[in-house]
A and B are shown apart, each in its own frame.
Chain A
Amino acid sequence: GDSVTQMEGPVTLSEEAFLTINCTYTATGYPSLFWYVQYPGEGLQLLLKATKADDKGSNKGFEATYRKETTSFHLEKGSVQVSDSAVYFCALSDRVTNAGKSTFGDGTTLTVKP
Chain B
Amino acid sequence: NAGVTQTPKFRVLKTGQSMTLLCAQDMNHEYMYWYRQDPGMGLRLIHYSVGEGTTAKGEVPDGYNVSRLKKQNFLLGLESAAPSQTSVYFCASGVALDEQYFGPGTRLTVT
Contacts and interface: CB of A to CB of B under 8 A. Distances in A.
14 contacts: A32-B98, A41-B105, A42-B105, A43-B104, A44-B92, A98-B96, A99-B50, A99-B56, A100-B50, A104-B43, A106-B40, A106-B41, A106-B42, A107-B43
Contacts of A49: 99
Interface residues of B, number: 24
A89 interface: yes
B61 interface: no
Interface of A: 32, 34, 36, 41-46, 49, 89, 93, 95, 98-102, 104-107
B98 A43 contact: no
Contact of A89 (B43, B50, B98, B101): B43
Contact of B97 (A32, A41, A105): A32
B58 interface: yes
Contact of A43 (B40, B41, B50, B105): B105
A104 B48 CA distance: 15
Contact of B42 (A43, A99, A107): A107
B69 to A, nearest CB: 18
Interface in B9-58: 31, 33, 40-43, 45, 48, 50, 56, 58
A98 B102 contact: no
A34 B99 contact: yes
B90 interface: yes
Nearest to A102: B100
Contact of A101 (B41, B45, B101, B102): B45
A42 B104 CA distance: 5
B31 A100 contact: yes
A49 B101 CA distance: 13
A100 B96 contact: yes
Contacts of B98: 32, 93
A114 to B, nearest CB: 26
A46 B99 contact: yes
